[in-house]
Structure 1
Amino acid sequence: MKLAFDPQRKVPVGIVYATATVARQLDRIDVLKALDRHQDGDWGLVSESDATENEFVLINGLRLLSVFEDRKGVRFWIITEADRSYTTVLFPSDY
């Protein structure tokens, strides 16, 4: 899965990639909804301290992490690199 997203959003994500396991196992709609939330600065299921860290990271140009679950309760991560050139959707086990 490879998509490009609007750079005018709160989080420019660059080109979006998904690991092979995510592409095989998750419904594309669930991934797209999570990416939409990620771009709006909704970090999903991260802890309060990780959400605060993401706000700091957003301002200071570091790597961002969001955590989401699909409709079946399967947890996955979205990581946007510091330079915002690309974002990866992956399972924690893919890391």
Structure 2
Amino acid sequence: MSAESPSTPKPAAKPLFPLGRVLATQGAIELLTLTETDARLLLLRHVSGDWGEIHPDDVAVNADSLAHGGRLMSVYRLPLSGTPGDAGTSPPVGDLTDDRLWIITEADRSSTTLLLPEEY
């Protein structure tokens, strides 16, 4: 019996595309910290073709982008477990009531950025 949760993504045997240089905005870092989320796990999902919660039209765009070298985008919802601005912490940069994190890999595969929607 496997200890893996049914919702745990199974990374592709080989990444579908290179990530390039991985960058994160201040807001993304704050959301990842607040939700105690390991960015590497989200990047594994992204590079494996698990695009998270994107619109079906965007799934088709990503498929075309994989085949023809366009921009790739994933959207993941992170469980908000803390309260922004707890005592002893600095105020958040973005609106951390929104639990979505975007990951975008550029068309030339030179970089992948983790960011909040309002930071786009």
Gap runs ≥5 in structure 2 = 1-13, 81-97
For 2:26, the equivalent position in structure 1 comes to 20
Provide the secondary structure at the position in 2 that maps to 1:12: coil
In 1, are the aligned partners of 2:37 and 2:78 still within 8 Å (CA)? no
Deviation sequence 1:21-48 (CA, Å, 0-9, x none): 1112323634222111000011110011
For 1:40, the equivalent position in structure 2 comes to 48
Asked if residue 94 in structure 1 is aligned to residue 87 in structure 2, the reply is no
Amino acid at match of 1:60: H
Please say which structure displays the higher CA radius of gyration: 2
Which of 103, 107, 111 aligns to 1:78? It is: 103
TM-score relative to the length of structure 1 = 0.83
Q: CA deviation at 1:71?
A: 2.5
Asked if residue 55 in structure 1 is aligned to residue 63 in structure 2, the reply is yes
TM-score relative to the length of structure 2 = 0.67
What is the aligned-residue RMSD (CA, Å)?
Answer: 1.6
Query: Identity of counterpart residues, as a percentage?
Result: 42
Provide the secondary structure at the position in 2 that maps to 1:42: coil
